[in-house]
Structures are given as structure tokens and as C-alpha cells.
Amino acid sequence: MRIIPQAPSSREPGPSRLLYDVPDGAWGWDSLLEVLGETIRWCAARATLDAPATCLRTPGFQPRAMVDCDRFQMMERVIHARHYALRNTPSESSPSRADGRLHGGRLLVYFPDDNTCDGGAELATQGYLDVDNMPPWDTWVGMFREDPESPTQSADYLIAWVPPVFLDTVAQGISVNPELCIQWLEDSTTMMAKRLKELTSP
């Protein structure tokens, strides 16, 4: 079992370093792409503008509060619960591949340590993002910790997939989020934005 390192308090100048990730990318990105595929398969069939606050918050996947010491274990539990739910679910039609690997959706990055819980994004998205600005847990793809080069970037962040029907909704949430704890992945300074550029580029 890997030990989750503490977020660095100071650093020497230099490029960002990825310290910890779930799913584990130590041996390549196959595990991340597999989780992304499962996320899309689960969410694409359930996303509806009629119930933005609940359609992608499956009760059986619900995590505990995102406290620092438990973030990565929490992500693992959500990933595993969704994986086994898909195995026990009748085969559903997969999203069309015509829109590429993200199937017309986009990747969102959430920085939990930058959240001010002001509720603005929750109101703007009709509950798709909650009072903590957190995306619904069914959409979670991975949790990452890095030693960031940028002095304005927090170490820990979560990446989630946003279904096509919620792109405009989430854009509204981002526009009323002054602390920038939610951003489109490609607009962030994270290492994963660079590593997943092929997925997020138009």
C-alpha cells in the first residue's frame, strides 16, 4: 500500500511533480482511461436536466465529507462502487464515439482546499454543483496531489466528467465562482491538464 504524502509546505523552484494519484498512474494511463470510460458509461444514461441535483448522485456511492486525510480512500470507494454497479447492471447502450473519448463532455477540476462554500455555484447550477462547489460523485474520475510549480495552485484536486447536457450549466457555475476552485481542466495549471491535453483539446 502506498503512503499518501502530505502536501508540501514549501518548495524549490522547478517543474510540478505528481505526488499521489487515484487511480494509480504509476504504470501508465490505462487505469485512468478505464475509469473515465466507466464514468461516462454510468453517467451518460442518467444525466438529465430535469434533476440536476440528484440524477448523478447515486445514494449507494455517496462519500463522506472531503476531509484531507481521507480524500484518496474516498475516491477509491466511489470508483469501486461504480465499477461493481456497472457489472451488476444490464448492458446499456454506450455513448456514441463520434464525439471522441470524452463523448461530447468535458473534464472539470475541483480544488477542495480553495472552496469558500458560498453557495453561488450551487444556485447557478440548480444543485448540480453543491454548496461546497463539488461536482456530483457519480462523475468523479480521479483525485490527484501534486507539488505545484504555480504558487497560486493548491496541491489536491479532483477531476470529474461533465456530461454534454450539463456543459452550459457548469459554465454558469464557473462564472460565479470567484475563488476559482472549479475550472475546466484545460484552463488549469495542473499537471493533469498537460498530460490529458490530447483528450481536452478541441
pTM, 2 dp? 0.87
pLDDT at 164 over 90: yes
What pLDDT, on the 0 to 100 scale, is given for residue 167?
98
Instruction: Report the C-alpha gap between 33 and 99 in whole angstroms.
Output: 16
pLDDT at 172 over 80: yes
Q: What is the mean pLDDT of residues 80-92?
A: 85
Residue 194, helix vs strand vs coil: helix
Instruction: Report the C-alpha gap between 94 and 144 in whole angstroms.
Output: 27
| pLDDT tens digits, one per residue of 17-44 | 788 888 877 656 788 999 999 999 999 9
Q: Pick 100 or 201 by higher pLDDT.
A: 201
Q: What is the mean pLDDT of residues 93-122?
A: 81
Q: Using 50, 70 and 90 to split pLDDT, how confident is the model at 3?
A: very low
Average the pLDDT over each of 9-23, 78-92, 131-145 and give the range with the smallest value: 9-23
Average the pLDDT over each of 44-48, 97-101, 124-128, 195-199 and give the range with the smallest value: 97-101
- What are the residues whose beta carbons fall under 8 Å from the beta carbon of 168, sequence distance 6 or more? none
What pLDDT, on the 0 to 100 scale, is given for residue 4?
46
What pLDDT, on the 0 to 100 scale, is given for residue 141?
96
Element (H, E) at 40: helix 30-44
Q: Which residue has the cell 475550472?
A: 183
Candidate ranges 42-56, 91-105, 150-164; pick with highest mean pLDDT:
42-56
